[in-house]
Amino acid sequence: MTVKVIVFDFDGTIADTLDALIAVINRLAAEFKYKQASRADIEQLKNLSSREIIKDSGVSLLKIPFLLRKVKIELAHEVPRIHPFLGMKEVLTQLRSQGNKLGIITSNSKPNVMTILQKNDAQDLFEFVYAETTLFGKHRVINKFLRKESLTPEEVVYVGDETRDIEAAKKSQIKVIAVTWGFNSKQVLAAQNPDFLIDRPEELIEVIERLQQRDLYPPKA
């Protein structure tokens, strides 16, 4: 069945938000009683899964939703410093020109995402933006999207940079392309067995073409 929709994570996949997130997280450290993180600390955290990072932070699970909400609010002040990864806009433009429907499912807020897209003249590349409310609820948003658009899992592919993106895609039974230019390290992503693992935005075009080719010419029994 032909892939009809490519769904992207936003932070760390489309937009380089790492420095902005570090600044926000460190500003909130005293309020939520965790230690501030240096760039070296972040490099170490890249080798942990999303769930391991939460555990390592020492922040109560009950406080995570409040922390996430505050991070989204604070990120709005960092928008001027956030840009797409080098080459990403060009890749998205080509994918769209080839007839692919593009969308975003993110843990960030929709206003933040739309402001960043508009600032970089990329808002017209996407047909939808869904914002989730929890760190590990992305599969529920994906499932809701599939139902709303009357799509089967085989018609959708997900692109993300964290282990929780792979986890969500697998729960929704859709193919997942993990990217190594975002937060989690290549080794940690590979351990989660994504369908594809790529190092450069340009590789997205090749992977999508391979998926479409596979649909056009399925393996013979």
Q: CATH fold of 5-16+83-216, please?
A: Rossmann fold (3.40.50)
Residues designated catalytic: 9
With 90 as the cut, is the pLDDT of residue 221 above it? no
Tens digit of each residue's pLDDT (9 = 90 or more) over 60-71: 878 888 988 999
3-state class (DSSP) for residue 160: strand
Q: What pLDDT, on the 0 to 100 scale, is given for residue 183?
A: 93
pTM for this prediction = 0.91
pLDDT in tens, 107-125: 899 999 999 999 999 999 9
Q: Which long-range contacts (CB under 8 A, 24 or more apart) does 65-71 make?
A: 65/133, 65/134, 66/32, 67/28, 67/32, 68/107, 68/133, 68/134, 68/135, 70/28, 70/31, 70/32, 71/21, 71/24, 71/25, 71/28
| Residue-range domain boundaries for the chain | 5-16+83-216, 18-80
Does the pLDDT at position 206 exceed 70?
Answer: yes
pLDDT score, position 217: 46
Return d(Cα 198, Cα 16) in angstroms, integer. 16
